[in-house]
Amino acid sequence: MRKVRVIVVDYDGGTKVPGSGGSSPAWHVVLEDLPISLRAHIAGQLTISRSLGRYIPSMVRFAIGDCLRDGLSPLLLGGDHSLSYATAWAARECVGTLAVVHADAHHDSYQVPYLSNYSFAYHAGRDFGHQWHGVGWRHEPDQLRSRRLEYDVRGPSWLSFDFDYFDPEIFPAVRFPVPGPGGTPEDLDATIDRMKGPLLGVDLLEWMPAPGAENSDLVMRTVVRALEAVLR
């Protein structure tokens, strides 16, 4: 039976600098409410505290690498999108190059010398040689991408998902919402269905939960869909 290890990063998408505070995402609630059939596939959970600050990206890289070397599929929950650089690094070290499907409202590929949540895709693509497939980008007119992957991606792959991919009308709980039309759950389903090879891991990032916000159902649906895709 295929197994998944959950890695929870204890700061939300509203925290600009890792370790600087902010309210922790309610990921533990989501995980506790997972269907029993999926919980049976979870081989442990690691929580990386915000108090680790600038060490968080390295901790993520090492944790992802440990998962892959142990034959487990990592599910990264929480933090900002710059952490996908760490997952791309670990994947390159452990399994080689693969296809990264980057679902996001922003292209996150500004060509600047520093690594951030707005430049990680540029640095990861340059440094690790992964094939990058953008989905749902709508922030800048010259970097538009369809809300659905329009072709099959074969071979080993990784899903790097920012919750602002969703249309803000249905999911406003993000730091940098981009006016729609944005992605829908059905668009995400169609994109995952186009990923024909083994899905080695998933990053679900930039959720900024607010007290009383009615977004938990869509978060749960996204986590479930990601787990089902990894386990198929």
pLDDT in tens, 162-201: 999 999 999 988 888 999 899 999 999 999 999 999 999 9
Domain count, the chain: 1
Say if residue 67's pLDDT is above 50: yes
Supply the pLDDT for residue 12: 62
* Dihedral angle over CA of 185, 166, 146, 14, nearest 10: -140
- Residue 174's pLDDT is what? 87
pTM of the entire predicted model? 0.92
In whole angstroms, give the CA distance from residue 86 to residue 82: 8
- pLDDT > 70: percent of the chain: 91
pLDDT in the model for residue 16: 47
User: 100: domain CATH number?
Assistant: 3.40.800.10
Domain that residue 40 falls in: 4-231
pLDDT tens column, 2-59:
899 999 997 765 554 444 444 455 788 889 899 999 999 999 999 998 888 889 999 9
pLDDT at res. 169: 94
Q: Which of 8-17, 61-70, 100-109, 210-219 is predicted least confidently? A: 8-17
